[in-house]
Structure 1
Amino acid sequence: MSNDSLFNSSNAVADVAVIGAGIIGVACALRLARQGRRVVVIDQQEPGRGASFGNAGHLATEQVFPIADLSILKRLPAMLMDPMGPLRLDWKYMPRALPWFARLLLNLRPAPFQRTVVGIRALNESSLGAWHRLLQAIDRPELMKEDGSLLVFERADSQQAIEALQVRMRQQQVPVDFWQAKAVRDAAPQLSEQIQGGLFFPRTGHFLDPFRVVGELVRAAKSSGVQFLKLRVEGGQLSEHGVSLITDQGRLTSHQVLIACGAHSAKLTAMLTGKKVPLDTERGYHLMLPHEHGRLPFAVTSLERKFIMTPMADGLRLAGTVEFAGLECPPTMERAWQLHRLSKGLFKRDLSAEAATPWMGFRPSLPDSLPIIDRVCDGKVLLAFGHQHLGLTQAAVTAEMIAQMASPLTDAQPHSLPATAPYRLDRF
């Protein structure tokens, strides 16, 4: 079907219109198409060019705790004053951010905090298995390296914090081992002698090229009949028979719509469901070092320096900084370059920044650190957004959950999926 005919037809052009061509939207589109659904994916960018392009590449199944804890109150002055700090709040954005931060703090009370941990854990524990199934289905299992990751510390006085974190992780059934300095040097001999030890997480992994993962899923989706349309969705409304979307090229109708456009999801969700969701964005930065190959065998995070280094096909990616400044403020690329300065002293020989490229993207975050994965409006609207910095990790299991929600009367999945209650829209 041509693009022109999509806008000239009075009938639904698809069973499901997926808004968002990031890793989550594309993975969902592929799963839905392989259920026999007619699927179109709509985005104003090429697939994978948003946050999916620049993530850390780390499959972070160990990260089962919310994005902040109560210590954020003590750090607030530094967040406002230090433009290069690991967690920054732009003072000009503070009035808009305060309601979101207030809700975040309320969710750090014991009962809601525990609900968040349970919700994150359920998704993370299912994530690697779902990624195995998805990559096997497209004959690309080699894209995922399930070789663990390491959190290192450099100061002797950090060992107590590391040991306390290990206890908390084990209480949540996260596989974790304490490594002495010798074990760290044996596994990653190019790291500095000043590293005292660390925590190794064997049930984690990484992608050598996250953007290629999206590309391979797109290729498989197109082979399954999915159409990709480069459009801007400006609005929409529900009808008796489905959903009508208003785009910059006309009106497009479908039986169902899946909103999976990350940090840009709130406006369309409000239009279609009448529900205003407290969605904000963590602006994440990375610095890609193309001349650094073979430095690390797996992803390594620094406890004190608060950033991650992931080996990739195109070099070494440094990532992990968080900035709250909204969707409109220009990027502060100096924050990306700051990552190279943070790496100094972590290796026996400093990393080369020759021909390095900086990047900034938007991580969609809700104040309880859980995504929205739901089926609402009598099944006409599906929702999959708000995964904060775990979008890559949780994309494949989210796709399985959405596929089940889109066709709830189909046969049960051959594998168990997380219960959907923690991720429902009506929790807000």
Structure 2
Amino acid sequence: MQSQAQHHAANNHVAVLGAGVIGLSCAYQLQRQGYQVTLYDPEPPGSQCSFGNAGHFATEQVFPMACSSLLPKLPKMLLSQRSALRIAPTYLPQLLPWLARFGANMMPHRYRRHTEVLSTLNSHALGAWQRLLANDYHQYVQHQGSLLTFESTTTNKIKAVAAQYSHQGVEVSILKRAQVKELEPALTAHIDGALYFEAVGHSTDPGALSQYLFSQFCALGGHYRAEKVTSLTCAHSHCRVSTATSRELYRKAVVCTGAWSKVLCQQLGYALPLEAERGYHYQLSEHLGLKRPVASFERQFIMTPMSAGLRLAGTVEFAGLQAPANMTRAHALLAHARELLPQLGTEFDEQACWQGARPSLPDSLPVIGAAPRHPSLLLALGHQHLGLTQAAITSELIAALINQQPTAMNIDALSIARFQGNRSKAL
């Protein structure tokens, strides 16, 4: 085994840890660029958040979650059973350090800086997906735009929200009630207006997209090991990946383990203030006439037409990785959908519910880049709500680093170094 491990390290063998959409994109990208990639994940590829997400390539979502406008809304949100945000009372003490960092990132200069980084990253997102999927792009990415609807927001506020998007270079137009009804006749007449984002996309089956990436990776000779990585150790020129049954050396390793990334990073001495931000969806068996993703400004959820029906998604719940699913959160999504789609029935089916854990960092930025003290280790994690959106551009950035080529954007702000040492206390 030792001689084989040394052979792996000496040649272009790369380990990718995590087979969600980020890991699958990185594995496929590297495999097609001539590397021999081994992909590790104990769960089936694309079976977690990469399956259950809202299917929205949300390039318009350039604003960090850590926004001062959230503060006055928090008490009401935390008290409402149908709120977009819930913190499990028993988990609050453990969450407090993360919340303190989250609050610090609401400071105006940090908020502006993080918005600029997200804007730049998202501006590359769909172009990177076009390059990754090539001729199959339009099979997996639909371009019907998306709507952000308003029910009880003043006209001036709607204009102000649109201006914020425009200021960041996001293409947006304001629609009046009649225009919304023309685009989406199924929506309630109580919607006063909407923002229309034309330059975004959606997937009608995000699980199928992940399976496509996995099949292409395997067709090019990539290897998949359905094993949990128990330890990761890295030197200057190689990384050792250990499972319950093997230890292998690789020239490079890429950590893409999402909400489960903290332990591996800690093994190598890197602080990572990562929390599992639990999301839910409710899957209806029919589209109910919607042609594009429709989000609600006041209700903070989204409805996306998919091949299997209409997916209702959203909600943020902090309760840790181990807490059992709280399907009242999915029920709340259905209650919100009934307000926007009058023809929707009243029956609740728990079999239509899903829960998954998104990796959330307190500054709303992912970690993408080489580990500061371990040149053989690269990190691609913490994408929060934007894993599907940013997966392809993340794979290009990681490939450029491994190839020692210039990256498409400056990624200094995405380094895990921002959480290390004294500097991390303010972040």
- The TM tier, using the shorter chain, reads over 0.9
User: Which one of 316, 324, 346 corresponds to residue 318 of structure 2?
Assistant: 324
Q: Would the aligned equivalents of 1:152 and 1:198 in 2 still touch at CA under 8 Å? A: yes
Aligned residue number for residue 150 of structure 1:
147
Aligned residue number for residue 51 of structure 2:
53
Q: Would the aligned equivalents of 2:180 and 2:194 in 1 still touch at CA under 8 Å? A: yes
User: Which one of 21, 32, 35 corresponds to residue 34 of structure 1?
Assistant: 32
Aligned residue number for residue 415 of structure 2:
424
Task: Return the TM-score normalized by structure 1.
Answer: 0.92
Aligned residue number for residue 340 of structure 1:
334
Structure 1 residue runs of 4 or more that deviate by more than 4 Å after TM superposition: 351-356
Percent identity over paired residues: 40
Note the C-alpha offset of 1:396: 0.5
Aligned residue number for residue 285 of structure 1:
280
Q: Would the aligned equivalents of 1:146 and 1:203 in 2 still touch at CA under 8 Å? A: yes
SS of residue paired to 1:380 = strand
Provide closer, same or farther for how the CA distance between residues 423 and 240 of structure 1 changes in structure 2, counting only shifts above 3 A. closer
Note the C-alpha offset of 1:161: 2.4
User: Where do 1:83-162 residues align within 5 Å?
Assistant: 83-136=81-134, 139-155=136-152, 157-162=153-158
User: Which one of 182, 205, 208 corresponds to residue 204 of structure 2?
Assistant: 208
Which one is further off, 9-18 or 27-36?
A: 9-18
Q: Would the aligned equivalents of 2:231 and 2:267 in 1 still touch at CA under 8 Å? A: yes
User: Which one of 157, 164, 169 corresponds to residue 168 of structure 1?
Assistant: 164
Q: For 1:119 and 1:246, how far apart are their aligned partners in 2?
A: 35
Aligned residue number for residue 67 of structure 2:
69
Q: Would the aligned equivalents of 1:374 and 1:384 in 2 still touch at CA under 8 Å? A: yes
Task: Report the AA paired with residue 264 of structure 1.
Answer: W
Aligned residue number for residue 364 of structure 1:
359
User: Where do 1:226-305 residues align within 5 Å?
Assistant: 226-239=222-235, 241-272=237-268, 274-290=269-285, 292-305=286-299
Q: For 2:49 and 2:239, how far apart are their aligned partners in 1?
A: 27
Note the C-alpha offset of 1:345: 2.6
Aligned residue number for residue 350 of structure 1:
344
Q: Give the superposed CA RMSD.
A: 1.9
Note the C-alpha offset of 1:68: 3.4
Task: Report the AA paired with residue 15 of structure 1.
Answer: H
Note the C-alpha offset of 1:353: 5.2
Q: Would the aligned equivalents of 1:289 and 1:353 in 2 still touch at CA under 8 Å? A: no
Aligned residue number for residue 312 of structure 1:
306
Q: Would the aligned equivalents of 2:83 and 2:299 in 1 still touch at CA under 8 Å? A: no
* Count of residue correspondences: 414
Task: Return the TM-score normalized by structure 2.
Answer: 0.93
Any stretches of 5+ residues in structure 1 without a counterpart?
none
SS of residue paired to 1:318 = strand
Q: Would the aligned equivalents of 2:130 and 2:137 in 1 still touch at CA under 8 Å? A: no
CA offsets per residue over residues 196-252 of structure 1, 9 Å max, x none?
110000111100100000000001001111111100111121245411122122322
Provide closer, same or farther for how the CA distance between residues 81 and 269 of structure 1 changes in structure 2, counting only shifts above 3 A. same
Task: Report the AA paired with residue 219 of structure 1.
Answer: S
CA offsets per residue over residues 363-400 of structure 1, 9 Å max, x none?
11111100000112452100000111011000010010
Any stretches of 5+ residues in structure 2 without a counterpart?
420-427
Note the C-alpha offset of 1:275: 1.2
Q: Would the aligned equivalents of 1:80 and 1:90 in 2 still touch at CA under 8 Å? A: no
Note the C-alpha offset of 1:352: 6.7
SS of residue paired to 2:199 = coil
Task: Report the AA paired with residue 256 of structure 1.
Answer: K
Provide closer, same or farther for how the CA distance between residues 159 and 351 of structure 1 changes in structure 2, counting only shifts above 3 A. farther
SS of residue paired to 2:339 = coil
Provide closer, same or farther for how the CA distance between residues 12 and 93 of structure 1 changes in structure 2, counting only shifts above 3 A. farther
